[in-house]
Structure 1
Amino acid sequence: ENGVPTYEIPFGSQKRKQSQQEIPALKWADLSDEKRGLTLVNAEKYGHSCVDNTLRLTLIRSSYEPDPLPEIANHEIRFAVIPHIGPLEVPAAIRAGESFNSPMAVVSAPVQKGNLPAEKSFVECLTPNVFISAVKKAEDSEALVIRMFECEGKETAAKIRITDLVKPGSKAVETDVLERPLAKNSAKMDGDVLTVTVPAFGQATVKIG
């Protein structure tokens, strides 16, 4: 009866009081107590409100100036409601939001032997409370850059397995968002596994090459 609403924000989440006021959220919002809860996952609809233990999603909000009828059209609205037992688990909500907004693509291909295993990840995060937000080529070299964030509010030694994207013996360097090396470097490679310390509710960027 005393549910706490939680809303996804960039690289994290924010608990708020129940309020009639509309609150923005990215891919999900959740209303939970210690025993149970509901996660509301959305696609491209960001206005939420929560009052009287009811979590609401605004489907259409229209302005009246300068165009008095700006939303007259066919609208496709996608959302999902996911019940759960126990309090909110933020990593599970993040995964649900990502899966709903970026579903697996199915591609038809001819029958072939292929040279890859049936299951493979080029970059795989092995730490449940850390999520990869970007994998890219470095701006000034051929090095690989990986960005990540921590979602549960605890400093974490994140482990990420990297397959076939970097050369054996590559070194890992922790950088700022402009890819400039930091004075303090917690990143290191052990075989194909990268380890780096991610601050509580913080981000880390690592250049490997």
Structure 2
Amino acid sequence: MADQQPFQSNPPRTAPGSGLLSRRLMWPAGAFLLGTLLVYNSIDTPADPKAQQPRPAGVATATPGSAHRAVPTLARSIPKRISIPEIAVDAPFTALTIGPKGQLNAPPANDKNMVGWFQGGATPGERGASIVAGHVDTKTGPAVFMLLGSLKKGSKIDITRTDGRVASFKVDSVETFSKSQFPNDQVYADTADAQLRVITCGGAYNKAAKDYEANVVVFAHLDSTSRK
């Protein structure tokens, strides 16, 4: 699992004065949906299908994590580390950006214990759906999210942020989607509360395409916050 196929996002929200990506624009809450699939490939060069265009949306879309106790959201703050004790994940973050072909760049393939977050979207704990992604394997063996698909409803994901806060998420569901029929709206829609999407490869490995045929997506919502 290395590069990703073309990826379109909302013109992302930024905190005042934060220069995250020069190509980004300010956007009102719920103004756009993420327009194409965030698809991780395996360990070789991906195909390069045409990118779709973002579609306007008037309101936040209901998601698997929408029926739960509301927790006050946090201000924007860069994530530092992710912890998922149930599957022995304890890994640092690296920021993911959009590449020249419109794809979301993957975390470094030579670091099996590195997780990426899409810096053009919500930070974990901030209002909206924060996108986190990592390798299921690399050329040298299993990687950080090898066991991601074994999480269950109620599993806990802790993300430590640079502001000293820990955003604790509770898993609502774990889904596997074919890459050819990836539900963009369900995964990337704007949300009225703080949610999390954790994504890696899944399904069968297609040797001819040198790619996994599906994505595992963990849907989670902010359950509590604390000081580190």
Q: Specify the TM-score bucket, using the shorter chain as the normaliser.
A: under 0.3
Look at both structures and tell me which one has the larger radius of gyration over its CA atoms.
1
TM-score (norm 1): 0.23
| Structure with more contact order per residue of length (Cα contacts < 8 Å, sep ≥ 6) | 2
Higher strand share: 1
